[in-house]
Chain A
Amino acid sequence: MTTSKPTLHSIAGSRSFRVLWLLCELGVDVDLVDYQITDGSLQQDGFKALSPARRVPALEIDGITLVESGAMVQYLCETRADHSLMPAVGNEERAEWLQWLHYAETLGTGIQNLNMQHLFLPDPAMRSIPVMGIETKRLAIALKALEARLADGRAYLLASGFSAADVMMGFTVWAAAHYVDFAAFPNLTAYQDRLAARAAYQQAQALEGVQQFYTRDFYALPEV
């Protein structure tokens, strides 16, 4: 297996942040290729050859291209040495780690749906206010479960400490705060601050540049 420098195709503020942040946590150098959501760069043939569904992130690594951030996170943990970001197969925290990793994407889906309604449907008549309401409520319920998990005073999702599940979740929590008020979630707020204070998180932010999604800190549901 070759371990040449990977190339990450990314949009600032998208799920690709998870992968970039993890690469920074692992100290792996990466070539970054930036795309914009609205300039058609995702529709170019060269990108379609890499990611047939034309989505970011796409990661070229060890001679193959991956298109799922969760798979990239798992693969990097399995193949890059000298870290404690993943409980190995058979470890007692393995099931929990896998669950949080996938749960981050359950939240990610809700955020993606809210992004579509709030950011990408330009005409209010195109939106469905019931869908926006349901998605916001679901996201709040999913965050409440996280708040409950953190209520025992643990610093990270796993009792044993920081792991790649936090990298998956950290991006999601950052994005979710644009749609759900965190006032009722003190543990989650502290968790988010703890993640954002990590050197690798800040390094990834600097590498990625200005996020392209949100022009406001908070998007309230439209008045009916």
Chain B
Amino acid sequence: MKITLHHAHEARSMRVLWLLEELGLPYELQVYDFFDKSLRSDSYLALHPAGRVPAVEIDGQVMLESGAIVEYLAERCADMGLGRAPQSDERMAYLDLLHYGETLGQHLANLTQAHIVLYEPWMRSPTQMGLETKRLAKVLGRLEQLLSDGRDYLLASGFSAADVAVGYGIWLAPRFVHLDALPHVAAYRARLITRPAFAKALPPEGARRIYTQAFYEVPNV
């Protein structure tokens, strides 16, 4: 497979970068700055009409949507064991958690927009920010429950592409929600971020990042 990944540091495209590293696939990386207009250039919009990352070219075919790309790569590299095939007992849980990655991701995207992209306080809705934070905590609560039987990863049989889909959000979550009340999630996060493939998906030293504060507090209304 010839793969080119279009990526912005710390954005959802991290999922794809991380998975490519887990799968040991060769790829070419094109990095865009999240804050300048490079994702709005005509050449990028021809690839991704909404100007978002990721876009990935796989043997000349363009794919958008990190969840779809993660599923597809796991299917194409079935022998690496990161997917769960349709006949597997874990198929339902695998699919449910893979999609749950974006249920988690959308709250993080909304909070990122409110705290970071809308830099002027008048542009924000503290009510919305509060609600999104609460919903994020609830979504994490389901994972806390799932992990409380002591499993290392989301599926009892071990690490899978669902951990990549969800793990991106888990890595990001403590910037918006304290994990003190979610000890299993915190331990799971520690386990994910020490994986060598995850470390390779992080921005290099000195690169411009989306997230510069350790914690983003909801403003008082």
Encode contact with A along B84-111: 1 for CB under 8 Å, 0 otherwise. Answer: 0110000111011011101100100110
Contact A103 B95 (CB under 8 A): no
Partner of B50, one of A90, A95, A138: A138
Cα A95 to Cα B92 in complex, Å, equals 20
A/B pair count, beta carbons within 8 Å: 120
A79 to B, closest residue via Cβ = B86
Contact B64 A103 (CB under 8 A): yes
Given A71-B98, A117-B128, A148-B49, residue A128 in contact with residue B103 (CB < 8 A) = no
Question: A84 within 8 Å of B by Cβ?
Answer: no
Question: B38 within 8 Å of A by Cβ?
Answer: no
> A71 to chain B: which residues have CB within 8 Å?
92, 95-96, 98-100
Question: B58 within 8 Å of A by Cβ?
Answer: yes
> B58 to chain A: which residues have CB within 8 Å?
95
Cα A144 to Cα B49 in complex, Å, equals 8
- Chain B interface main SS type: helix
Contact A75 B123 (CB under 8 A): no
Question: A131 within 8 Å of B by Cβ?
Answer: yes
A86 to chain B, nearest CB (A): 10
Cα A97 to Cα B109 in complex, Å, equals 24
Most buried by A among B51, B67, B96, B118: B96
Question: A70 within 8 Å of B by Cβ?
Answer: yes
Question: A40 within 8 Å of B by Cβ?
Answer: no
Contact A78 B91 (CB under 8 A): yes
How many B residues face the partner with a CB closer than 8 A? 44
Partner of A121, one of B65, B125, B138: B125
Cα A67 to Cα B135 in complex, Å, equals 15
Contact B102 A126 (CB under 8 A): no
Cα A78 to Cα B68 in complex, Å, equals 16
How many A residues face the partner with a CB closer than 8 A? 46
A198 to chain B, nearest CB (A): 24
Question: B30 within 8 Å of A by Cβ?
Answer: no
Given A78-B91, A89-B86, A116-B131, residue A98 in contact with residue B96 (CB < 8 A) = no
A104 to B, closest residue via Cβ = B65
Cα A61 to Cα B96 in complex, Å, equals 13
Most buried by B among A54, A55, A95, A109: A95
> B215 to chain A: which residues have CB within 8 Å?
none
Encode contact with B along A114-137: 1 for CB under 8 Å, 0 otherwise. Answer: 001100010000111011001000
Cα A69 to Cα B96 in complex, Å, equals 8
Contact B96 A95 (CB under 8 A): no
Contact A53 B138 (CB under 8 A): yes
Contact A99 B65 (CB under 8 A): yes
Q: List A residues 140-179 near B (Cβ within 8 Å).
A: 141-142, 144-145, 148
What residues of chain B have their CB less than 8 Å away from a CB belonging to chain A?
49-51, 58, 61, 63-68, 71-72, 75, 85-86, 91-93, 95-96, 98-100, 102-103, 106, 109-110, 113-114, 118, 123-125, 127-128, 131, 135, 138-139, 141-142, 145
For the complex of A and B, the 5 pairs showing the least CB-CB separation, nearest first, are A128-B125, A68-B99, A126-B127, A71-B95, A102-B65
A–B Cβ pairs within 8 angstroms, 29 of them: A52-B142, A53-B139, A54-B138, A55-B103, A64-B92, A64-B93, A68-B96, A70-B67, A71-B96, A71-B99, A89-B75, A94-B75, A95-B63, A99-B63, A99-B65, A99-B68, A103-B65, A103-B68, A109-B106, A116-B131, A117-B125, A121-B127, A127-B127, A128-B123, A128-B125, A130-B124, A131-B114, A131-B123, A131-B125
What residues of chain A have their CB less than 8 Å away from a CB belonging to chain B?
52-55, 61-62, 64, 66-71, 74-75, 78-79, 89-90, 94-95, 98-99, 101-103, 105-106, 109, 112-113, 116-117, 121, 126-128, 130-131, 134, 138, 141-142, 144-145, 148
